[in-house]
Structure 1
C-alpha cells in the first residue's frame, strides 16, 4: 500500500507538524486566555446539540 519511504516521511511530517503546532499554541496561550474567555461553553453547547440529535435519531429509529 505505502512504501517504507512514504511511511517514514508521513511519520516525520506528523511529528514535526505536532511539535510546531504545540510551540505556536504555547506562544499564543496568554493572548488566547485574554481574548477567548468562555469559548469552552460554546464547545459544550455544540457537543450537547450533536448528542441530542444522535439521541433523537436512535429513539425514533
Structure 2
C-alpha cells in the first residue's frame, strides 16, 4: 500500500512534529499562564452545553 520511503517519511514527520510542538508549547508556557487563566471554565461550559443538547435530543426522541 505504501512504499518504504513513504513510511519512513511519515514516521520521521510525526516524531519531528511532536518534538517541535512540545518545544514551542514549553516556550509559550509563561504566556499561556498569563493570558489564558480561567479557560477551564469556558471548557466546562462548552461540555455542559453539549451534554444539555444530548439530553434534549434523547428527551425529544422518547
TM-score (norm 2): 0.78
Q: Which residue of 2 aligns with 1:12?
A: 12
Aligned residues: 61
Q: Which residue of 2 aligns with 1:44?
A: 44
Q: Distance in 2 between matches of 1:11 and 1:60?
A: 47
Quote the RMSD (CA, aligned, Å): 1.5
Q: Which runs of 5+ in 2 are unaligned?
A: none
Q: Which residue of 2 aligns with 1:23?
A: 23
Structure 1 residues 3 and 37: CA distance shift in structure 2, 3 A: same
Structure 1 residues 52 and 11: CA distance shift in structure 2, 3 A: farther
TM-score (norm 1): 0.79
Q: Distance in 2 between matches of 1:2 and 1:56?
A: 45
Deviation at 1:33, TM superposition (A): 0.4
